[in-house]
Structure 1
Amino acid sequence: MRRVILLAVFIGGIMLACQDAAFLDDTQTTNLNEGTVFADSTYATQFFFGIFEDIGFDSDPGRFSDGNAFSPARSGGLDGGSDEAEPRAIPTITTNVQFATGTVNSVIVSKDAWDVCYRNIRRTNQFLKHIDITPFQPALKTQLVSETRFLRAWYYAILLKHYGGIPLIGDTIYSPNDKILAVRNTYQECVDYIVSECDIAAANLITRPVARDHGRIGAGACKALKARVLLYAASPLFNGSGFAPEPLTSIVGYPTADPNRWKLAAEAAQAVISLNAYRLHVNNSPPGEGFYEEFVAKDFQSSNAYSGTILERVATDGNYEERLWQPPSRGGGQGGAYPYHDLVNAFGMANGKAITDPNSGYDSQNPYANRDPRLNNSINHDQSLMPAVLQGPRVPIDIFLGNYQGRQAGQDAVRAGTPTGYYVNKMLLRVIVANGFITGPASRPLMRYAEVLLNYAEAKNEFDGPTQEVYDAVEAIRERAGLSPFTLAAGLSKDAMREIIRNERRLELAFEGHRFFDVRRWMIADQTENQTMTGMEVVRTDSTASYNVFNVRKHNFRDAMYFWPIPYAETAKSPELLQNPYY
């Protein structure tokens, strides 16, 4: 599957280098055209897999760059536009920096969400239009149609969470001379369309493709996307929040609130759980090892492979994330963002208590001891263990100022290699470094079973309160995390459970593209994004160590930033395309 996708991406990139408006026109170098491509099974397959190429672009940890197609300077992903991480400094002011500083507007915002999604929606429509002439067996045609409809729903869902209601084009394929009426559909129409497409796609797909079919779309992925979209649809921002004046009220959300939307979201997540096709990978020897292994210990031939992963961007072995996130001494620092100390503080202790709890055992002079195991598996801090050179024994990295056992502060130090005193460690293989020739699993999860459990817990708690089912879902996450005890206090209120669930999402799903949108749909971004973010400076001598918190960047948030602005180039050429509120 991975080899097929790589071949498809390579050949598909050549085929699709032309503008979408001039689909596979005859040129001096090829006789390929729309008819010949889809009448040939090899070309048609390559075209189909080309639609997968962009499936994970929105949560890519190196999403934003200076635009250089050959050697881009990257500033990180959406984590750098939220309270998770500080963007990497590059000469270009990228969109994540614009969101962090409150300066984003429709002229300078990245067009990637709009362009990439509609480009691929057009591709799905092209494939569906010509499926009848492709020389595939009927069963394969049915499968490919269902997978394509999922992909179309997937790209619409990305548009929806960025902009609110967007134009739904159905099966239309516009030509260069067509007048495109870019009228935005209501939020409800968009949700209903995506949900319907997910239901239709799921009906003709197996639950979870494994072994040689690993990486294909299954019914479980369709149901998980439906659950995610319905969770968003039930959230405060989209439920009678009064955020947007007319005529945008019904475009960016439902005009009135309805608590039954939480019920629909809970039922959709329960449908995924009831498949019994996924599980959390629990291995607490040592504590939290299962959390690490879910991202990197991958067996393509096993029927249990990726049992906690529902959908991912499949890739061959490599070191892309290592190059983005590892310290400079290991060849990293090439485009990933840097975790804030504020996120580190959100991780509790191994006993499940918050570090602010006086009974937690937290020691400010030994701040990384006995913490939630997800902290070390997600973030590298001073004295974290990493391979020494290329591949070898793990040794402490030095992210400090001063002298310690004869070692001087080096290129990895705070304010040298990292502006916050931290590096991301999530999804990185412990035995490889980016400056070596050894590679490891490079596929990146896009939907995980852990998210489904948290989706279910949130929706169920909002509709029914903290029932036993809510406790069970949250405690399953905490058990796999390696907390001991992993159980929650009995008799929690709905409000108390809500805060626990939100924090669990912050920790469990860190650096996977969720936090940026979570704080918006909860309508708390005016709090989380309006504060001065901090880092950690460690000063060591031969006999002492001190831990000093310092200011990194003041984040600024304004109400307009609950949504992305539609790119000015789009609204300028289509006056009927209404801009989002306050831009």
Structure 2
Amino acid sequence: DEILNNNEDITYYDRSRDIYDDCVEYICSEFEESSLYLPAKVNSVLEYGRPTKGAALALVARVRLIHASDLFNGGRSARTYFGSWTRKTDGKHYIQQTYDPKRWAVAAAAAKRVMELQQDGLPMYRLHTVEADEKTRPLPINVNDPDFHKPFPEGAAGIDPFHSYLDMFNGETVMNINPEFIWARSSSQVTNYTKHSFPVANGGWNGMCVTQKVVDAYEMVDGRTINTASDEYPYDETGFTNERKELYREYYLNTNVYNMYVNREARFYASVGFSEGFWLMGSTSDNTQKNLTVTYYNDSPNGKSGAPNPDDHPITGYVLRKYVNPIDAWAGTAARRIDKPFPIIRYAEILLSYAEALNQIEGESFTVEVDGQSQTFTRDISEIKKAINQVRYRAGLPGMQDADLADATAVMNRIKKERMVEFLYENRRYFDVRRWGDYEASESEPIKGMNTAGTRDTYYQRVVPTSYRITNRVVNRKMIFLPIPKAEMLRLPSFDQNPGW
């Protein structure tokens, strides 16, 4: 760290870049120091969004996990992406090319410290839950997890998984008392952006899409995948529902819903809007603008040819509903929207990061100093299971068992999928696929959705949309780090450009 004068000749500012590892250590040291002076909690609504001690330490945990990941820790992708990126002043690699397994223990320690924060003898953070009521969907009956029917957090009983998840994002839970939000902020942009999800029929733009890949990643209600669905809760890509059900309080599964969307986990219904979906829009008193069944077929009012603007249709046939409150409406008398928070970092991320870090510690143990105390970390299956299963139980899903945790690669793949659905539209996936080294493989997959160019008879089939928004997409490894502006590079001859630019 160096403090520079601000009135010197341009040559005074010319200097070489620091390597990535040094930047990580500096960032973490700054967060560590700030945590000593930040308040434990911000309880006032007016001050909500200001960082706390927990926020600083949680960001240390996030940075440490990134630092341990394949792209930045001498793994295959570190060598592939950054093998030739060296500092011209001394030839040193900007990104370490030798794997350091201890970094995973450091990441685990950083996450565990957040998990152990307390206030008044109680945990500072925990997963957000809403108690079950008479309208809560019953837990599945065919689950082998012996702990599944225990009260949360030891099992999935006693909570409503749909509202435990959704109410964090749609403004239903008062944000400054949500125990899961380690750092979040209230923003009119979140509320206003829901217009991109809303149907044209209610003043929206139908444009904030979800891909078929994400839809397929959501599990069945009993924790099976769509490819291993059970007889009790089958998955079917033929036929439609023949009755209307209130799956959860204020969430209805309509008649004529495609069977692909039946028997899915709670987070699916909380997050994804699909054709024949029911939208309450409860704030408006205009009966023509509320309680709408929305379809995205080509010839429907919200479809490709039915919308007034040809761009106002979901090109994948799915929209994001995660931030939509049943009261929200964009058209009609007295239409209004509930204020909503955006989670910068929440406790579920800490749990899954802890599980990931422990899972990657293979073959040996590592001792790490945390706040003057020595802690030893190994690939502890019981700890991994406890962390992952809290997130799964909150979603109403069975937990992972010891047999599921035997293979570290298989567990890592489960964690990747869990993070994809749990943090949908929370600004995590972009960075996750890069740190894992999955960027090119993942982003090169064709984006798929339903056939929005078809009528109802041909709509329900997986296709690659032809929209220019998809066909013009660029996937290039140099996009891992975006370029430093040329004007700045000309001012600093000793400063190296990002690789590929």
TM-score class, shorter: 0.7 to 0.9
Alpha-carbon spacing, 1:173–1:429, altered in 2? closer, same or farther (3 Å):
farther
Deviation for aligned residue 1:363: 1.0
| Deviation readout 1:50-83 (Å, 9 max, x if unpaired) | xxxxxxxxxxxxxxxxxxxxxxxxxxxxxxxxxx
1:14 aligns with none
For the Cα contact (< 8 Å) 1:398–1:409, is it kept in 2? no
Counterpart of 2:329 in structure 1: which amino acid? Answer: V
2:111 aligns with 269
Which stretch shows the higher mean deviation, 491-500 or 408-417?
A: 408-417
Counterpart Cα distance in 2 of 1:184 and 1:175: 21
State whether structure 2 residue 489 is matched by structure 1 residue 578.
no
1:247 aligns with 86
Counterpart Cα distance in 1 of 2:319 and 2:404: 38
1:22 aligns with none
Counterpart of 1:537 in structure 2: which amino acid? Answer: N
State whether structure 2 residue 195 is matched by structure 1 residue 362.
no
Counterpart Cα distance in 2 of 1:461 and 1:187: 24
2:144 aligns with none
1:150 aligns with none
Alpha-carbon spacing, 1:494–1:308, altered in 2? closer, same or farther (3 Å):
same
1:180 aligns with 13
Which of 441, 444, 447 is the equivalent residue of 1:533?
447
Counterpart of 2:127 in structure 1: which amino acid? Answer: L
1:378 aligns with 271
Which of 158, 163, 166 is the equivalent residue of 1:289?
163
Counterpart Cα distance in 2 of 1:176 and 1:424: 50
Counterpart Cα distance in 1 of 2:497 and 2:294: 48
Counterpart Cα distance in 2 of 1:420 and 1:271: 41
Which of 459, 462, 465 is the equivalent residue of 1:549?
462
Deviation for aligned residue 1:318: 7.5
Counterpart of 1:354 in structure 2: which amino acid? Answer: T
1:353 aligns with 224
Counterpart of 1:467 in structure 2: which amino acid? Answer: I
Deviation for aligned residue 1:370: 1.2
Counterpart Cα distance in 1 of 2:21 and 2:304: 59
Deviation for aligned residue 1:433: 2.2
2:330 aligns with 434
Counterpart Cα distance in 2 of 1:372 and 1:475: 15
Q: Give the alignment of 1:188-203 within 5 angstroms.
A: 188-203=21-36
Deviation for aligned residue 1:412: 9.2
Counterpart Cα distance in 2 of 1:403 and 1:501: 38
State whether structure 2 residue 390 is matched by structure 1 residue 476.
yes
1:560 aligns with 478
What 5-or-longer segments of structure 2 have no aligned partner? 118-122, 137-159, 239-258, 362-377
State whether structure 2 residue 418 is matched by structure 1 residue 521.
no
1:208 aligns with 41
TM-score normalised according to structure 2 size: 0.74
2:254 aligns with none
1:113 aligns with none
Deviation for aligned residue 1:380: 1.1
Q: Secondary structure at the match of 1:445?
A: strand
Q: Give the alignment of 1:125-140 within 5 angstroms.
A: none
Counterpart Cα distance in 2 of 1:251 and 1:454: 30
For the Cα contact (< 8 Å) 2:282–2:291, is it kept in 1? no
Q: Secondary structure at the match of 2:13?
A: coil
Deviation for aligned residue 1:358: 4.8
1:394 aligns with 291
Deviation for aligned residue 1:545: 7.7
Q: Give the alignment of 1:399-410 within 5 angstroms.
A: 399-401=296-298, 410=306
| Deviation readout 1:159-195 (Å, 9 max, x if unpaired) | xxxxxxxxx6x44463486542353211111111111
Counterpart Cα distance in 1 of 2:5 and 2:266: 50
Q: Give the alignment of 1:22-101 within 5 angstroms.
A: none
For the Cα contact (< 8 Å) 1:317–1:440, is it kept in 2? no
| Deviation readout 1:260-302 (Å, 9 max, x if unpaired) | 00000000000000012111112353532110011222336x7
For the Cα contact (< 8 Å) 2:282–2:327, is it kept in 1? no
Q: Secondary structure at the match of 2:316?
A: coil
1:256 aligns with 98
Deviation for aligned residue 1:321: 2.1
Counterpart of 1:174 in structure 2: which amino acid? Answer: N
Q: Secondary structure at the match of 1:470?
A: helix
| Deviation readout 1:485-539 (Å, 9 max, x if unpaired) | 3444634211111011110100011111111111111111121111211111376
| Deviation readout 1:371-417 (Å, 9 max, x if unpaired) | 1221221221112222358636533211123579xx99732999751
Alpha-carbon spacing, 1:327–1:469, altered in 2? closer, same or farther (3 Å):
same
Alpha-carbon spacing, 1:298–1:358, altered in 2? closer, same or farther (3 Å):
closer
| Deviation readout 1:144-173 (Å, 9 max, x if unpaired) | xxxxxxxxxxxxxxxxxxxxxxxx6x4446
Alpha-carbon spacing, 1:488–1:355, altered in 2? closer, same or farther (3 Å):
farther
Counterpart Cα distance in 2 of 1:527 and 1:294: 32
Counterpart Cα distance in 1 of 2:308 and 2:463: 17
Counterpart Cα distance in 2 of 1:432 and 1:280: 25
Counterpart of 1:367 in structure 2: which amino acid? Answer: M
Deviation for aligned residue 1:424: 1.3
Counterpart Cα distance in 2 of 1:318 and 1:403: 28
For the Cα contact (< 8 Å) 2:186–2:339, is it kept in 1? no
2:192 aligns with 320
Counterpart Cα distance in 2 of 1:176 and 1:435: 57
> How many pairs does the alignment contain?
406
Counterpart of 2:223 in structure 1: which amino acid? Answer: G
Alpha-carbon spacing, 1:540–1:453, altered in 2? closer, same or farther (3 Å):
same
Deviation for aligned residue 1:460: 1.1
1:6 aligns with none
Alpha-carbon spacing, 1:173–1:441, altered in 2? closer, same or farther (3 Å):
farther
Q: Secondary structure at the match of 1:576?
A: coil
For the Cα contact (< 8 Å) 1:298–1:441, is it kept in 2? no
Alpha-carbon spacing, 1:174–1:256, altered in 2? closer, same or farther (3 Å):
farther
Counterpart Cα distance in 2 of 1:250 and 1:446: 34
Q: Secondary structure at the match of 2:95?
A: coil
Deviation for aligned residue 1:204: 1.9
TM-score normalised according to structure 1 size: 0.64
2:59 aligns with 225
Counterpart Cα distance in 2 of 1:320 and 1:268: 35
Counterpart Cα distance in 2 of 1:579 and 1:337: 34
What 5-or-longer segments of structure 1 have no aligned partner? 1-167
Alpha-carbon spacing, 1:184–1:408, altered in 2? closer, same or farther (3 Å):
closer
State whether structure 2 residue 297 is matched by structure 1 residue 423.
no
Counterpart of 1:267 in structure 2: which amino acid? Answer: A
Percentage of identical aligned residues: 29
2:353 aligns with 455
Which stretch shows the higher mean deviation, 431-440 or 214-223?
A: 431-440
Deviation for aligned residue 1:205: 2.3
Counterpart Cα distance in 2 of 1:266 and 1:472: 14
Across the aligned residues of Structure 1 and Structure 2, the Cα RMSD in angstroms comes to: 3.0
Counterpart of 1:193 in structure 2: which amino acid? Answer: Y
Higher helix share: 1
2:125 aligns with 278
Alpha-carbon spacing, 1:412–1:426, altered in 2? closer, same or farther (3 Å):
farther
